[in-house]
């Protein structure tokens, strides 16, 4: 009722070719990352699919650059408010969703919580985000957009690092809560600030493009985060379990389940029972927590790199005056810009 409508009277036609290229390119890239632990990082299939994904994505960029009606206007990336903010959103959701992927498994398979109980124990992230998100505009006005977004990414990095340092077979829920709170704080500071910068940097008639680009940055970062976290965890887990099972005769079906996931290993251990089952449980949980530690540390490094990327490239203050490009209406009709 109260938000003024926006519409581009000269909107372009759809770009089905660009949409198809983006889907194929990202799909192949994610497949290569996810399947690498199973097929082998040096396998011809993984390398071939990975190279194919880059070729398709390069073709996508070239198509968008020369299309008369591209789905993604590459010219928008010349504005650092748009490009750097979109990039830092991807860095943030990379760590956030990657951590959620790992922590839900830790809570269910290692600590033995039900899916509902695990979900309730993830709530601290959402609660802190709920409190910090409304405060992010206030902080951005005080210290600038750049520092607020960088602080958010640094908090995500700190939270991931804290959880990685306490990850072991003896880790309790209480030990990971501080890191979860830091991750929620960081997401609350980062996402509203970066979203405002991305959407506010496009002309009013193109607000739909800005909103869609913002969503793409979030989703691509999250998809890559889950894929990379899961792949790193799986690689480490399989290496440790292969070492633990060396010299033991294990049926092929059981071996496939054990190496496939912690849940599969626990299922086999439950069927075997006795001392052998107990040994398998201990080995599987130790291997999983080792993989969790490494994947979370990788996520922390990526988030920290994102913070440095923001400090180096994102403008800190809105521009005092700007042309029509990037202008949005603020309170009481005042036109503002996120530069």
What CA–CA distance (Å, rounded) separates 14 from 70? 8
Judge contact between 103 and 161, C-beta under 8 A: no
pLDDT tens digits for 253-294? 888 899 988 889 999 999 988 888 899 999 999 999 999 999
**Model confidence at 333: pLDDT above 80:** no
The pLDDT of residue 331 is: 39
Which helix or strand (DSSP H or E) is residue 28 part of?
helix 16-39
Residue range 8-24: average pLDDT?
A: 86
The structure tokens listed for 202 are 């496009």
More confident residue, 13 or 308: 308
Give one word for 46, left, alpha or beta, with left for phi > 0 and alpha for psi -120 to 50: alpha
What local confidence, expressed as pLDDT, does residue 73 receive?
84
Q: Which residues contact 200 (CB under 8 A, 6 or more apart)?
A: 81, 210, 326, 328, 336, 337, 338
User: What is the overall mean pLDDT for the chain?
Assistant: 88
What percent of the chain has a predicted confidence (pLDDT) above 70?
A: 92
**pLDDT above 50: residue 329:** no
Per-residue pLDDT at 252 exceeds 80 = yes
Q: What is the pTM of this model?
A: 0.86
More confident residue, 334 or 213: 213
Question: Taking 70 as the threshold, does the pLDDT of residue 170 lie above it?
Answer: yes
Dihedral (Cα; 102, 104, 106, 107), 10-degree rounding = 160
Higher pLDDT, 72 or 152: 152
């Amino acid at each position: 009722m109260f938000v003024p409508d926006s519409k581009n009277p000269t909107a372009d036609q759809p770009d089905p070719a660009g949409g198809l290229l983006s889907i194929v390119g990202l799909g192949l890239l994610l497949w290569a990352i996810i399947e690498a632990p199973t097929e082998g990082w040096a396998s011809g299939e993984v390398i071939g699919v990975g190279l194919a994904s880059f070729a398709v994505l390069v073709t996508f960029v070239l198509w968008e650059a020369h299309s008369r009606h591209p789905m993604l206007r590459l010219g928008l990336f010349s504005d650092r408010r748009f490009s750097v903010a979109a990039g830092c959103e991807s860095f943030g959701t990379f760590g956030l969703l990657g951590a959620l992927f790992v922590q839900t498994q830790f809570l269910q398979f290692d600590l033995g919580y039900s899916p509902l109980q695990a979900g309730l124990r993830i709530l601290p992230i959402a609660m802190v985000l709920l409190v910090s998100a409304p405060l992010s505009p206030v902080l951005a006005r005080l210290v600038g957009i750049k520092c607020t977004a960088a602080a958010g990414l640094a908090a995500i990095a700190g939270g991931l690092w804290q959880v990685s340092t306490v990850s072991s077979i003896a880790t309790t829920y209480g030990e990971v809560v501080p890191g979860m709170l830091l991750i929620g704080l960081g997401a609350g500071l980062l996402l509203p600030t970066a979203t405002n910068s991305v959407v506010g940097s496009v002309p009013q008639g193109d607000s739909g493009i800005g909103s869609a680009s913002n969503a793409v940055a979030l989703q691509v970062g999250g998809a890559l985060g889950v894929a990379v976290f899961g792949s790193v965890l799986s690689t480490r887990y399989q290496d440790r379990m292969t070492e633990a099972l060396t010299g033991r005769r294990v049926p092929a079906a059981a071996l496939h389940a054990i190496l496939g996931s912690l849940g599969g290993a626990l299922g086999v251990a439950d069927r075997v029972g006795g001392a052998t089952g107990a040994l398998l449980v201990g080995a599987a949980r130790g291997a999983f927590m080792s993989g969790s530690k490494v994947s979370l540390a990788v996520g922390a490094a990526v988030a920290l790199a994102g913070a440095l990327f923001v400090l180096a490239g994102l403008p800190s203050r809105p521009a005092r005056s700007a042309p029509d490009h990037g202008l949005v209406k603020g309170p009481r009709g005042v036109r503002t810009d996120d530069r």
